[in-house]
Structure formats: structure tokens, C-alpha cells
Structure 1
């Protein structure tokens, strides 16, 4: 039993959850790629979502479905994935793309030389779709004029590449489309990656669905007492913000506590402890969604786990620790 529980924890990071918004975005990306293959027409897509909503997971899953292929004439890269570096410059963005294309010296050359090299390499690697992650780093770069120049370079690169582009980022990445009209015309289709439709009822039901879909492979029973399933959904929504990353963190913490306690079923007390150890160390009593005294409010005040800036810092620090 212990080995099965530990194996379950290790497998969580590699598990994918096809909640409706995730599946819709995934299918739209497939549609854009297949349309390009059949007609040569490039359709572009902007996908936004809060930290932990599954954007990078979506990108990784899509790339896995269209893997690189070794060929005598060189590597074939059907889907090219590149993450925009923080405080993105045009040169830095070009270097990120060159690195993913296997360029031996991505930092060498002027911006125009790097750009031309990236286009040539993409063509030789038969790239059919470009996925640009962390697009908000372009928006974060300086004032509107600087953002416009980076966005204008991206537009020109897309035109030279002539393949569909999927751009992903935090909600503020939308600002890029307001700053650069030419870029806005290319991304007429946008999708938001979030559980539920924005209504509490949908979020509660989907938070419970996300959680129980992971628990199905758990070799122990999940007990909801003393709460109803409806109330559990509401508490899970407040505990995770209906974000995949936090659903996984909560479950990892709960299962680790179950193992420490030597229990035979996953209970609310384990979830309460997992919330403290893996999501928010100050989440006690009325600030812990699984405690009987919980205040039933969004934990999005300054210093709380779902305050927007704190969410980004928290998830980034966890990624660094994992590495």
C-alpha cells in the first residue's frame, strides 16, 4: 500500500486533466494545425489563464502529440515550443526560439541575423506550428512603445514563418493586442483557460470533478464526512482557486499526511493539513477551507495564496525547488 501511495504522488506531476476549457483549447490547436496541413492557411490563437491554470501543461501535452522526428537530413520539429524569457527583448525572444531549434550559437549575430536564421531553421525543421509561452513577459517589457516594438517583431516573424501560432500567457498578455494593432489582427481568436464559466456553481462542481478525477487512481477511499459532496466542491474551489496546479499540490500534501498518520482512507483532516503544508502555511482555522470555522470567502487578499502577485511568486518558487 505504501509503495502504491508513493507511486501515486510521483505520478501526479505527469497527469493531465481534460477539463472543458483545457479540452476546448487543445482541440482548437489541433484544428489550426490540421487546417494548415490541408490548406496552408495559418490561424492564430491566444490562450490566457491565471498561474497554475494549466497553460504550460497544455503546451507540453500538445508537443507530445506531435513529437520531434529524427531524419537523415536533420531533425523534423512539427510543433516548436518556446517560452519568452522574463523582461523579454527582441534579441532574447529570438534566442529562445533559436535554442529550441537546436542552433549551436543562439546568442551570436544581430537581431536581423538571428531572426533570419530562426526562419531558415524553422523551415528546414519543417515546423508546422509555433507555441509561444509566457507571452506576458513581452507585455511586462517597459512602456507601450517598447512592447509595440517587440510585438511588431513577433508579427513580422510570424509572417515570415507562415505557420499557425499559439500564444499563451497570463491575462495581462491581452494588453499586447491593444498596444499593437497589427498583432491584434492576427490573434482574433482568444480562449481563457479556467475551470468553470466564472460562476461559483460551475467552479465548485468542476473543482470537485478535477479533484475526484485524480483521486480515482488513489489506492485508498476518499471520505467527505462531515461535509456533503456539494460543500466539498465549494471548499475545494476556495482551497485551489479551481486551478490544476493547486489541486495537485493539495492532493500531494493530503496523501503525504495520510501516509504519516498511517490511515487507510483520505479524509478532510488530511486535506486541511495538506492545504497548510503545500498551499499556505498561514491557512489556519477560518482561513483553511477544510476547517469547520472557515469563513467561506476567496483567499485573494494581499499575502493570501490567491492574491495574483502571490500566486505567481508561490508557483515560481515551487518550480525552482523542484529543479
Structure 2
């Protein structure tokens, strides 16, 4: 990615691996699974990468090097394929209940639009609560998608439970043991986006990234009390920090701290507790809270 978000070890590692997967820098065409807790920035990471490869309009059609799909509830393998197809068109044709027909339709679309990478967000929606035949069919369908379209790679994003996809075994119903396979052979090792720790250069860089995005003044180490309160408010989660700043920019308050206090109530937590209220939470209280989190 030519325009990195900010320096953070897990983010940098995921970015580097995604670039190599996308541009086929390995001996084999591997795909990538990135997991992380809600709010750690998976979707933001994906959309930032997507922004580096905008569609190109031609007289015939739109070339789309990278395609982004955010899954909703996905009950069957056909549901999975249809949600990818609908990233291109709402016209899906007849026999949409047959996986092989939808698979063929999708393959045509991927070739026509010269797709190199498909990003599938919220991939845990493919899984049932207990691993069984439905989850195995999902893993098998993802494997078939890659095998039938050797010129594309996948980036899958999800909560930690999505890691089960790479551990599922599947096979032919008549040759269960002989035909058993795992999706993992088509993927690199599962990567994880982590919460950013407080009181470090990474957190300062993260806050400045979003401060610049929403046209606020930059932070320095002298702003440590506010940086600490931002960490308490967001738990070091990129998605929540982005949400907080995006709401703060439209709050009509002259003082930045008051903007954040009102934005926190509007976007993250409407309870009485507010980390930007200095009467409610002293600087020493903030330090104690950060210490208690890091020791947990």
C-alpha cells in the first residue's frame, strides 16, 4: 500500500502480506485471513487498501482490480456466491439456487472486470455456532472459488471465530477420509489486528492520523492527558477512534475537549460515565484505569 495508515506492528505486517498476496509475490497464489476483535480496524484497513485501487472506466465496462464485499447473514454456499455477484450486478439470472451456475456466472464477472483481489469482510457470517456440514460446505465453496479462478486472491476479514474456517476439514461424502482437505493450504497463516496499546508512539501516530483526516490540530507528547482519555474512550480500537472523530467534527462546540465529550455521548456510550469529563474522572483516575487494563 503506497499510503499507509500509520505505523503499528500488526497493521504493518498485515499490509505487507496483503500487498504480496494481491500481486502474487509468492511461488503459489495464496490468500489471506485477517482476524481481530470488533473495532480494531479491519474494515477500515480494507477500505483504505481498496482506495488505492479505484475502478477504471472503459468504453466497454468498469475494470475493478479490487472488489469489496461485506457479508450479511450467509446460510448457504449459494448465499456466499450471490453476495459476491451482487458486488458487480443485481442481475443474477435464473437458477440462482444452484451453486455451480452461480459459480460460473461469478467467474465470468471476475474475468470481465479484470479482478485481481476480492475482499470478503465479516466472513464469520459463513459459520454456524457449531462446526458441522454447513460450515464445511462454506469452506469447500471458498476453496472452489479460488480453484476455479486462479488469477484472483482473497482477503478474508472477520472476528476471531473466523479462524475456524482454515481449520475445517471437508471432503466428498462418499470418500470422507480419502477426500478430506483443508482450506488452509490455499492461505497464509491467519494474521491478527491487535488493539493499539496506550502511552506509546503507535497510539500518538494513530490519533494524529485521524486528527489529520478530520482536520483537527495534531497531537504531541505534551497532550498525553488527552491521548490517555482518547484511549480510555475507544479502548485503543481504530474503528471507535474513527467514529469518535467523525462525530466530533460536526459537534458545534468551541472547545475540543467539549466536542469530544459530546461526541462520546453521541457515538460510543450515552451513559453517565464520560472519560472527557475532568470533574468525573481525574488524570490520576485515567492512569489507574489504563494500568488496570494492561494488567488484565
Q: TM-score, normalised by structure 2?
A: 0.76
Matched with 1:50 is 37
Matched with 2:293 is none
Task: State whether structure 2 residue 84 is matched by structure 1 residue 79.
Answer: no
Unaligned runs of at least 5 residues, structure 1: 1-14, 299-323
How far has the Cα of 1:95 moved from its partner?
A: 0.5
Work out the CA distance in 2 between the residues paired with 1:75 and 1:255.
34
- Per-residue CA deviation, residues 214-243 of structure 1 (Å, 9 max, x unaligned), is 33466675799xx96344333222210212
How far has the Cα of 1:102 moved from its partner?
A: 2.7
How far has the Cα of 1:112 moved from its partner?
A: 1.4
Task: State whether structure 2 residue 260 is matched by structure 1 residue 271.
Answer: yes
Task: State whether structure 2 residue 60 is matched by structure 1 residue 66.
Answer: no
Which of the numbers 235, 239, 244 marks the counterpart of 1:241? 235
Which of the numbers 136, 150, 158 marks the counterpart of 1:169? 158
- The verdict on how the C-alpha distance between 1:143 and 1:289 changes in structure 2, with shifts beyond 3 A counting, is farther
Work out the CA distance in 1 between the residues paired with 2:140 and 2:192.
24
CA contact under 8 A between 1:221 and 1:266: conserved in structure 2? Answer: no
Work out the CA distance in 2 between the residues paired with 1:235 and 1:218.
18
Work out the CA distance in 2 between the residues paired with 1:255 and 1:189.
39
Work out the CA distance in 2 between the residues paired with 1:223 and 1:209.
9
How far has the Cα of 1:96 moved from its partner?
A: 0.9
What are the within-5 Å matches in structure 2 for residues 178-193 of structure 1?
178-180=167-169, 182-193=182-193
Deviates more, 1:234-243 or 1:67-76: 67-76
Matched with 1:93 is 80
CA contact under 8 A between 1:44 and 1:189: conserved in structure 2? Answer: no
CA contact under 8 A between 2:244 and 2:264: conserved in structure 1? Answer: yes
- The verdict on how the C-alpha distance between 1:61 and 1:288 changes in structure 2, with shifts beyond 3 A counting, is closer
Work out the CA distance in 2 between the residues paired with 1:235 and 1:106.
53
Matched with 1:151 is 139
- Per-residue CA deviation, residues 157-182 of structure 1 (Å, 9 max, x unaligned), is 11111122111111111122222351
CA contact under 8 A between 1:89 and 1:141: conserved in structure 2? Answer: no
Work out the CA distance in 2 between the residues paired with 1:84 and 1:131.
10
Partner of 2:91, secondary structure, is coil
- The verdict on how the C-alpha distance between 1:136 and 1:217 changes in structure 2, with shifts beyond 3 A counting, is closer
Task: State whether structure 2 residue 203 is matched by structure 1 residue 212.
Answer: no
Q: TM-score, normalised by structure 1?
A: 0.70
How far has the Cα of 1:97 moved from its partner?
A: 1.4
Unaligned runs of at least 5 residues, structure 2: 170-180, 291-296
Higher helix share: 1
How far has the Cα of 1:193 moved from its partner?
A: 2.1
- The verdict on how the C-alpha distance between 1:121 and 1:218 changes in structure 2, with shifts beyond 3 A counting, is closer
CA contact under 8 A between 2:68 and 2:121: conserved in structure 1? Answer: yes
